[in-house]
Amino acid sequence: MTPSEITLHGQRFSYRIEGKGPLLVLLHGIAGSSATWNGVIPRLSQRHTVLAPDLLGHGESAKPVGDYSLGAYANAIRDLLEALGLSRATVVGHSLGGGVAMQFAYQFMERCERLVLVSSGGLGREVHPLLRAAALPGAEVVLPWLSRAGRKGIGKLVHVLGRVGLRASADLEETWRSFASLEEPEARRAFLHTVRGIIDVGGQRVSANDRLYLAAELPTLIVWGEKDPLIPVRHAREAHGRIAGSRLEIFPGAGHFPYHDDPERFAALLLDFVRATRPMPADSKRLGSRLRAGPRSNPLPAADSTR
């Protein structure tokens, strides 16, 4: 897919779009880009319009000095959809993108038909020490070395990342690419602003758990790797219990990037989920009524799928 560009608020916004049909929006993780979805887009675009943006501060999009909060990312996605003449979408978010997807569904419920969370942030405190370290003073000194190591070759980075628990898999490959992308000072600055907005030395400090009850009527799919080293699979099971009617799929043996470990299964699962569920109606009064009702005891969730 050839990236396209649009200018929003004076800043370059890069995105990829392909296919025809109901809209799927794919949101990548921190230090990633829309290219992370290349393995699944061809299958998905046979039945859907697939929009995969580079979040601001990432990929080919601009990396301005500014707001890198989840709310700002969600606003940017809303603006991109509006500028492209697109309306409602099934929003799929991986890692950081999962946090953005949940924020988007919360802020712009009338635009979100379904929610898909893939190894998502924002569902619990625990996160890998590698990301917690980015919240520490002095990370600005270490990141240039890691990015140069990533650019020159995977050898040094394999040694470093292997010592902190990342195995030779899609996890390691994607993490290597992420660190290599941070050689540009503007990208490092955006990365650090993003990390420090959602993570502190104790772990994730931004949580959607107290608002998950609002997704009770929003078709929600949760996908996780059984052996995710960055965000524990326990977060998936707990979120499944908090979102009434949600569907949980655990990929055996997979890590933080289940759509890389098994792209065929992931694409088939996503297509089946969209086909089998009805989009949430665009009702502006729905949020108000749910807020007034508040959290209620959810029924026991259906058994998750681990196969």
Domain boundaries, the chain: 4-124+206-306, 129-200
Show which residues are catalytic.
Answer: 95, 228, 256
Fold category of 4-124+206-306 in CATH:
Rossmann fold (3.40.50)
Indicate if the pLDDT at residue 149 is higher than 70.
no
Mean pLDDT of the chain: 87
**pLDDT for residue 178:** 76
Indicate if the pLDDT at residue 17 is higher than 80.
yes
Mean pLDDT of 281-293: 79
Task: Annotate the chain with three-state secondary structure.
Answer: CCCEEEEECCEEEEEEEECCCCEEEEECCCCCCHHHHCCCHHHHCCCCEEEEECCCCCCCCCCCCCCCCHHHHHHHHHHHHHHCCCCCEEEEEECHHHHHHHHHHHHCHHHEEEEEEECCCCCCCCCCHHHHHCCCCCHHHHHHHHHHHHHHCHHHHHHHHHHCCCCCCHHHHHHHHHHHHHHCHHHHHHHHHHHHHHEECCEECCCCHHHHHHHCCCCEEEEEECCCCCCCCHHHHHHHHHCCCCEEEEECCCCCCHHHHCHHHHHHHHHHHHHHCCCCCCCCCHHHHHHHHCCCCCCCCCCCEEC
